[in-house]
Amino acid sequence: MEILMSIIIGALFASSIYLMLSKSLLRIIIGTGLLSHGAHLLIITMGGLKRGAAPLLGEKAASYVDPLPQALILTAIVISFGVTALFLVLAYRAYQELGTDNMDEMRGNEAND
Amino acid sequence: MSLLHLAIFSPFLMAILVPFFYKGLRSIHTGWFVLILPILLFTYFIGFLPVTRNNGTVEKSFDWIPSLGIRFTAYVDGLGLLFALLITGIGSLVVLYSIFYLSKEKERLHNFYVYLLLFMGAMLGVVLSDNLITLYMFWELTSISSFLLIAYWYDRERSRYGALKSMLLTVFGGLSMLGGILLLSIMGDTFSIRELISQASELNGHPLFLFALILILLGAFTKSAQFPFYIWLPDAMEAPTPVSAYLHSATMVKAGIYLVARLSPIFAFSSYWFWIVGAVGIFTMFWGSFNAVKQTDLKGILAFSTVSQLGLIMSLLGAGAAALHFDALNDNIYIAAVIAAVFHLINHATFKGSLFMVVGIVDHETGTRDIRKLGGLLSFMPITFSIAVIGAFSMAGLPPFNGFLSKEMFFTGMIQLVDLNIFNLQTWGMLFPILAWIGSIFTFIYSMMFVFKTFSGKYQPEKLDKKPHEAPVGMLISPIILAVLVVLFGLFPNLLSYSLIQPAAAAIVPSLVEPGELLSVHIVHWHGVTTELLMTIGVIAVGILMYLTLSKWIKLYTLFPGKVTLNTLYDTSLYAAERGSYTFTKAYMNGFIRTYLVYIFVFFIGILGFTMWTEGALKIDKSNLAPIGVYEIVLVIIILAGIFTILFAKSRLTSIIALGAVGYTVSLFFVIFRAPDLALTQLVIETVSVALFLLCFYHLPKLNRHEERMGFKLGNLIISLGVGTVIALMAISSHSNKMFESIASYYVANTYKEAAGKNMVNVILVDFRGFDTLFEISVLAIAGLGIFGLIKLRLAKKGGEADEN
């Protein structure tokens, strides 16, 4: 399962990088969304999969899955949400001000030489 | 802190006071206040003469940065005292001269004297420091104050150019020197020059020795305007004439000479030292005098003459290095070279200082320094003419002036090199006296040009701005004093022998001086018909001949291609460096975010891939894997389908929904992987995110219309596949390389016992690792405030356009 997950994570990363290299601002943000999914899955995969019960003591199981990666991912999800939301609004405002979402057209003015 | 330290720092303290004098007492020329200090210092340093006469030394020290072993040790011996006397003595004369040279009304005098005092203090610090770090500090301070002084008239373009050039070259040398100092301190484990000298023989064999030698010589050569670094000196002539007289002839350019002399006891045993110092010196001597003849500006002649004379002193110091290899000889003839170097150092400071002042007077009284416009000034300026004759004849090496004596001693030193049988000198040794002789002929020619093109010949009033007349008395005092010294040292050279020259020479070759003994220094005018004398006669004869036929062969200089000069090299390399870095930066910083991301990802693939490959980290361990169920396969298929939909979707809306699908699948994965809290959060957040995406982009009408599929780019595909592969391989390998057990068992055991909770993830978030959560809350708060600000604040909007929403 871990190897399969690694390949899926690789696929998520590859597609997110491909999107980030595109010109459209929206696609870049979609790319960051995919990238954070990949990263979250990577953390939980590296913690080991399906070895025991959910990390709730009420289960009274013999073994539980590792709770620490889950706590880390929870933090990461919230942070990436905050960042994504800010990015989205930033892109929205950029579109409003500049009238484009093409990154190439958003290049800064050439320095005078 | 002692009186000696106070003496070194007093110019800096005085520099603080200068602006107050300038602002407060406008009616009196600020220079008069400044003048007191160098005179006081000069008399103070005269007081050390009885000590150094017998090779005694004075040392005062205080801690500066004790943890790094940096003490400010002021150390007075013969060499340091000689320089200190030159600095303060000529400093006093230059300040006196500048009082009459610079106008009280028109010039920014406070700037001038602050810079000049900074320079004086820095120079005293250089020559009286025993600690190499403090020496370096003062060394750079001389560069900076010289920079400020050259650009004193900063509204002139040439001044700024000259200042920048001298700054770049001397700071380049200074930094090299710092490198050499650090290497020396690594080898000898101390910054003290005297402690380094005491371990000179051990240092000699050290593998870093040669590097230290070359780096330190780079510093000395750039400061002392040796070939090929002399090019800053002629451009530094844009400075006011008192500055040229003081810095660029008598003191600062001799800092390099001082450094070579001071460190001779450490390096002189090496044949590299002999070769580099000697050969560079003699070639600079020849090249400087050769180029001086073609100058038409009086200051230009003097600048190249300074270059040439510094080369002469440098070559003598190189020749003096040979002395160390013959300490068995009773009468070590090579010591004569060291003595000649010290003697010429004094002589050069006297006559060159006076000559610069003469140029200043001529410039001041006629309005030009161009020898093509000058001529026939003899009847207008008899006193200036006399001073010029004394200085120039001394420079040319004519009796009875002091230049004659040191030139004779120079020839002696160079001739003796022919007899030298070390350092492979048999074949190349002849070049030294030959270059010295040719250089002296050119020296003679430009000295004669200096005097006779200015003061004799036809008077050309139509070319002059002013009616020439004799300078005011105040302006003449300083050059007269210097000229008197030229004659005095010429007639009675032994006035200096045991008071100044012997202690200074002894400091350069300390290993040859027995304790309690003195080097024998006896300078005589007439020592029989020797080769040296014949050479001098030859110089005079050929020189007169060539001077008289000057107009015939001066065209020779035009044969040299005008563009192939070191200045062109400097200018083009500076231009090329600027253009090159501009082109380079422009090429890789093209402003496209895609390009920068490509750099980042390519390096990511390269570095991680390379490291994994070389470290042999690639490994697949199948023993510890979880089983794959049907649900997982279905989810994997959904996630892949989502990815491909995003990549190939034509409409943006489709990609946004597909992204949502991937997010929900991820939350289903969390369900399967027994992470209920994650699944919940992921569901909620994915919903909100998709809503935000839609809010932001679906409602922008224009964007909806021209939708197109993402263009295919092979480069992007390769890079993204590369990153994906590296990540996947890294994940597999790191899973296969488990080093130790997880700390999860602690949380399992203690979640209820210590924290009274049963949900381990939540307890970790708010109890065991509550700080993370605190700042995660802050991140959310900042993001919220940021979004609020982005939407509400529209400061840049001009003209009160209506908001779109």
Tell me the per-residue pLDDT of A45-103, one tens digit each, with 9 for 90 and over. 988 876 788 888 887 888 888 889 999 999 999 999 999 999 988 888 888 777 777 77
- Please check whether residue B675 touches A, CB under 8 A: yes
Q: What pLDDT sits at residue B406? A: 84
| Cα B311 to chain centroid, rounded | 21
The span from the CA of B390 to the CA of B213, in Å, is 39
Q: What pLDDT sits at residue A111? A: 47
The span from the CA of B408 to the CA of B383, in Å, is 28
Q: Does A89 sit within 8 Å of B759, measured CB to CB? A: no
Give me the sign of the Cα torsion angle B263, B265, B271, B274: positive
What tokens does B445 get?
């020619």
- The candidate with the shortest Cα–Cα distance to B793, out of B785, A99, B782, is B785
String of DSSP letters for B639-680? HHHHHHHHHH-SSHHHHHHHHHHHHHHHHHHHHHTT-HHHHH
Give me the sign of the Cα torsion angle B677, B682, B684, B685: positive
- Closest partner residue to A54 (CB to CB) among B674, B721, B787 is B674
CA distances from B531 to A15, B138, B334 (A): 88, 43, 16
Tally C-beta pairs within 8 A across A and B: 272
Neighbour tally for B232: CB within 10 Å: 25
- Please check whether residue B540 touches A, CB under 8 A: no
Q: What pLDDT sits at residue B803? A: 46
In chain A, % of residues over pLDDT 90: 42
- The candidate with the shortest Cα–Cα distance to B524, out of B646, B667, B343, is B343
B261 residue type, one letter: A
What tokens does A28 get?
């870049």
- Alpha helices by DSSP H, listed for A21-57, are 25-46
Residues of chain B predicted below pLDDT 70: 326-333, 420-428, 515-518, 521-528, 559-564, 698-709, 795-805
Q: What pLDDT sits at residue B703? A: 53
List the 130-169 stretch of B: residues with Cβ below 8 A of A: none
String of DSSP letters for B28-39? S-HHHHHHHHHH
The span from the CA of A88 to the CA of B692, in Å, is 7
List the 19-48 stretch of A: residues with Cβ below 8 A of B: 19-24, 26-27, 29-30, 33-34, 37-38, 40-42, 44-48
What tokens does B113 get?
């004297």
Contact B402, B412 (CB under 8 A): no
Chain B residues with CB under 8 Å of A64 CB are 744, 748, 760
Chain A residues with CB under 8 Å of B734 CB are 46
Q: Does B652 sit within 8 Å of A26, measured CB to CB? A: yes
DSSP-assigned beta bridge partners for residue B489: none
Q: Does B791 sit within 8 Å of A89, measured CB to CB? A: yes
Contact B222, B172 (CB under 8 A): yes
The span from the CA of A26 to the CA of A11, in Å, is 20
| Cα B749 to chain centroid, rounded | 65
Q: Does B744 sit within 8 Å of A64, measured CB to CB? A: yes
- Closest partner residue to B787 (CB to CB) among A8, A67, A86 is A86
Helix (H, G, I), strand (E, B) or coil at B796: coil
Contact A84, A29 (CB under 8 A): yes
Neighbour tally for B586: CB within 10 Å: 13
The span from the CA of A43 to the CA of A112, in Å, is 47
**Residue B765 Cα, gap to closest chain A Cα (Å):** 6
Neighbour tally for B71: CB within 10 Å: 18
- The candidate with the shortest Cα–Cα distance to B680, out of A58, A36, A54, is A54
- Please check whether residue B787 touches A, CB under 8 A: yes
**Residue B150 Cα, gap to closest chain A Cα (Å):** 30
- Closest partner residue to B626 (CB to CB) among A1, A7, A15 is A1
What tokens does B35 get?
């003048």
List the 761-780 stretch of B: residues with Cβ below 8 A of A: 761, 764-765, 769, 772-773, 776, 779-780
Say how many CA atoms lie within 13 Å of A76 toward its Cβ.
Answer: 18
**Chain B: residue nearest A33 by CA?**
B659
- The candidate with the shortest Cα–Cα distance to A30, out of A19, A38, A22, is A19
**Residue A10 Cα, gap to closest chain B Cα (Å):** 4
Residue B691 has phi, psi (to 5 degrees) of: -60, -40
**Residue B168 Cα, gap to closest chain A Cα (Å):** 24
Contact B125, B132 (CB under 8 A): no
Q: Does A85 sit within 8 Å of B689, measured CB to CB? A: yes
In a mutational test of the B interface, the residue from A9, A21, A50, A84 whose CB has the highest number of chain B CBs within 10 Å is A21
**Chain A: residue nearest B694 by CA?**
A88
- Closest partner residue to B625 (CB to CB) among A2, A12, A57 is A2
Q: What pLDDT sits at residue A11? A: 94
- The candidate with the shortest Cα–Cα distance to B266, out of B326, B195, B368, is B195
Chain B residues with CB under 8 Å of A17 CB are 601, 716, 719-720, 723-724
- Closest partner residue to A17 (CB to CB) among B620, B677, B723 is B723
A104: pLDDT strictly greater than 80:
no
The span from the CA of B762 to the CA of B775, in Å, is 16
Q: What pLDDT sits at residue B41? A: 93
Q: What pLDDT sits at residue A105? A: 75
Q: Does A67 sit within 8 Å of B748, measured CB to CB? A: yes
Whose tokens are 């040392």? That residue is B59
**Residue B205 Cα, gap to closest chain A Cα (Å):** 53
The 10s digit of each residue's pLDDT in B334-343 is 778 888 888 8
Q: What pLDDT sits at residue B694? A: 85
DSSP-assigned beta bridge partners for residue B13: none
- Please check whether residue A61 touches B, CB under 8 A: no
**Chain A: residue nearest B639 by CA?**
A8
**Residue A84 Cα, gap to closest chain B Cα (Å):** 8
Q: ipTM beyond 0.85? A: yes
Chain A residues with CB under 8 Å of B765 CB are 71, 74-75
Buried b (16+ CB within 10 A) or exposed e, B406-445: bbbbbbbbbbbbeebeebebeeebebbbebbbbbbbbbbb
**Residue B161 Cα, gap to closest chain A Cα (Å):** 21
The span from the CA of B240 to the CA of B250, in Å, is 15
What tokens does B81 get?
């005292």
Q: Does A93 sit within 8 Å of B760, measured CB to CB? A: no
- Please check whether residue A71 touches B, CB under 8 A: yes
Contact B466, B367 (CB under 8 A): yes
What value does the CA radius of gyration of chain B take, rounded to a whole number of Å?
38
Buried b (16+ CB within 10 A) or exposed e, B165-183: bbbebbbebbbbbbbbbbb
- Please check whether residue A81 touches B, CB under 8 A: yes
- Please check whether residue B311 touches A, CB under 8 A: no
Residue A42 has phi, psi (to 5 degrees) of: -60, -45
Give me the sign of the Cα torsion angle B525, B527, B528, B530: negative
The span from the CA of B86 to the CA of B251, in Å, is 7
Q: Does A40 sit within 8 Å of B696, measured CB to CB? A: no
B283 residue type, one letter: F
Answer whether 0.90 is exceeded by the pTM. no
| Cα A109 to chain centroid, rounded | 31
- Please check whether residue A91 touches B, CB under 8 A: yes
Contact B260, B341 (CB under 8 A): no
What tokens does B420 get?
């030298």
The span from the CA of B416 to the CA of B319, in Å, is 9
The span from the CA of B120 to the CA of B103, in Å, is 22
Neighbour tally for B376: CB within 10 Å: 15
- Please check whether residue A70 touches B, CB under 8 A: yes
Q: For residue B63, give the H/E element and its range.
A: strand B58-65
Contact B336, B360 (CB under 8 A): no
**Residue A22 Cα, gap to closest chain B Cα (Å):** 7
- Closest partner residue to A6 (CB to CB) among B591, B728, B786 is B728
- Please check whether residue A98 touches B, CB under 8 A: no
Helix (H, G, I), strand (E, B) or coil at B568: helix
Chain B residues with CB under 8 Å of A26 CB are 652, 655, 693, 697
What tokens does B703 get?
């964007």
Neighbour tally for A43: CB within 10 Å: 16
The 10s digit of each residue's pLDDT in B253-262 is 999 999 999 9
Contact B37, B92 (CB under 8 A): no
Q: What pLDDT sits at residue A61? A: 83
The span from the CA of A99 to the CA of B4, in Å, is 72
Q: What pLDDT sits at residue B330? A: 52
The span from the CA of A110 to the CA of A102, in Å, is 17
What tokens does B574 get?
């500076």
- Please check whether residue B744 touches A, CB under 8 A: yes
| Cα B140 to chain centroid, rounded | 7
Q: Does A40 sit within 8 Å of B666, measured CB to CB? A: yes
Chain B residues with CB under 8 Å of A89 CB are 696, 786-787, 790-791
Q: Is B580 exposed, middle or buried (0-12, 13-18, 19+ CB in 10 A)?
A: exposed
Q: Does B685 sit within 8 Å of A57, measured CB to CB? A: no
Q: What pLDDT sits at residue B503? A: 85
String of DSSP letters for B447-462? HHHHHHHHHSS---GG
B13 contacts: CB under 8 Å, gap ≥ 6: none
Q: Does B703 sit within 8 Å of A101, measured CB to CB? A: yes
The span from the CA of A3 to the CA of B353, in Å, is 84
Q: Does B764 sit within 8 Å of A67, measured CB to CB? A: yes
- Terminal Cα-to-Cα distance of chain B (whole angstroms): 73
